Amino acid sequence: MKLTQAEWQIMKALWKKHPATARQIMTRLPNGVSWAYTTIKTMLSRLVEKNAVGEQKRGNTSLYEPLLSQRKARLSAFTSMLDQAFDGATGPLVHFLLEEQQLTARQKRELIEKLNEESGK
């Protein structure tokens, strides 16, 4: 389930708290993003189509709920980036993470800790 950029915005707002109305989602969008109400409705419809979001009506208003978890969305974003740019190989990615200073010293330390924890169990 690959989300587009705009869809990510909607999903993030929805993951924060749900179920939620389109109106609520609108208020939760990041500052830079100011979409028309109908734009949000359109995005939601498309997400419902894709089964990434569920919709139930309460009165004349729709309540939306994520069907796609953030974890899965992330996994999908990650693996598709990995396939695309690193031919699916985590090896080069790891190399890249280290070489490109994508990790701060602190993160590296934490990473080491976690890795050690894991190898310990």
Partner DNA sequence: AGAATTCTACTACATATGTCGAAGATACCA
Partner DNA sequence: TGGTATCTTCGACATATGTAGTAGAATTCT
* Site residues, a copy of itself (CB under 8 A): 5, 8, 71, 73-75, 77-78, 81, 84-86, 90-91, 93-98, 100, 102-105, 107-112, 114-116, 118-119
* Three-state DSSP state, 52: coil
Distances (CA, A) of 17 to 11, 36, 71, 91, 114: 10, 21, 15, 36, 30
84 is a site residue for DNA (CB under 7 A): no
76 is a site residue for DNA (CB under 7 A): no
Residues whose CB is less than 8 angstroms from the CB of residue 6 and which lie 6 or more positions away in sequence, other chains included: 43
Closer CB to a copy of itself, residue 57 or residue 71? Answer: 71
Closer CB to DNA, residue 59 or residue 91? Answer: 59
Tokens of 114: 């976690």
Minimum CB separation of residue 64 from DNA in Å reads: 8
